[in-house]
Structures are given as structure tokens and as C-alpha cells.
Amino acid sequence: MIQLTTERIDTDAVLAAVSDNAAGAAVLFVGTTREFTAGRQTSSLEYDCYPEMAEKKLAELLDDAGQRWPLIQATIVHRLGRLELGEASVAVAVSTAHRREAFEAAQWIMDQLKEIVPIWKKENWSDGSSQWVHPGMEET
């Protein structure tokens, strides 16, 4: 499942989407809006994208992950629009037969998402300034 949404991410639903009786492991990663980035105080974030292009890249990403690991289920949900501190911006969940593959796949999917998926993030700083951060330019 791939979803771009302006609504809050329901992490229980994301985890349920990868539930399967064949899975011995399910990993859920949730990226949240943090208050400080590189010493600067964040007041909010804004995410934007070209939905058709982002969805295509996300689908390719899940296909690639399925070629690398024996995924049973996988899902990515990314939030768009304005997010306040503490809100979830992205959720990646995968299920596999064993935990190692689930952890590795979830980390790889998240790392690749940040690098290649055209979803842009605008950091709104507490001093009133803002800055767009493009894919591949973020710190981890």
C-alpha cells in the first residue's frame, strides 16, 4: 500500500496493513517532526510533491525492496501539508518471515525514500524564516 495524505497518519492502520500469518516479524518506522535540526529551532514543517510522480517512485521503491528481501507485505504512508511538532510525517512498515530482513528492508526503504522520492520538505524556523529541503539533501 502506498498513500499520500493530508490527514494524520494512523500508525495502527499502517501496521495492520502488513499483518500476515506468514510473517514472523513486522517493523514499523515512524518519522516525526522534531523541534531542533542542526541547532535551529523548528516551528513546523510543510511537505509538498507532484503526487503522480511521488506515487510512481514509491511503488518502484517497494518493488525494488521486494527484489532485495523476502517481503510478505510492505506499506508507505507520507503526510503532505503542514505538520506541527511531534506529528508523524512518514510511516514505513514491512513484514517478513524473520526480523533481520524486516529491519533491513524498512531501513533501506526509508533511506531510499529520502534520497529519490520527489517529496519536498519546507522547514519553518522559530525565527520566522524558512528553507526548502530537497530529496537527498537532508541530514539523517
Model pLDDT for residues 63-103, shown as the tens digit of each residue: 999 999 999 999 999 999 999 999 999 999 999 999 999 99
Whether pLDDT at 137 is above 70: no
Q: What is the mean pLDDT of residues 116-131?
A: 95
Q: What is the pLDDT of residues 6-33, one digit of tens each?
A: 999 999 999 999 999 999 999 999 999 9
Is the residue at 81 inside a domain?
yes
Any domain includes 125: yes
69 within some domain: yes
Give the global pTM.
Answer: 0.93
138 falls within a domain: no
Flag whether 114 is in a domain. yes
What domain count does the chain have?
Answer: 1
Position 134 confidence tier, pLDDT thresholds 50, 70, 90: low
User: Is residue 44, in this structure, part of any structural domain at all?
Assistant: yes
Task: Enumerate long-range contacts of 101-108, CB under 8 Å, 24 or more apart.
Answer: 101/25, 101/69, 101/70, 101/71, 102/23, 102/25, 102/26, 102/27, 103/25, 103/27, 104/69, 105/27, 105/65, 105/68, 105/69, 105/71, 105/74, 106/27, 106/28, 106/29, 107/29, 108/65, 108/68, 108/69
Residue 52 maps to which CATH number? Answer: 3.90.1170.40
**Can you give the residue range of the structural domain that contains 81?**
2-133
Asked if residue 48 is part of any domain, the answer here is: yes
46 vs 138, residue with greater confidence = 46
- The answer to whether residue 61 scores a pLDDT higher than 70 is yes
Between 137 and 39, the more confident residue is 39
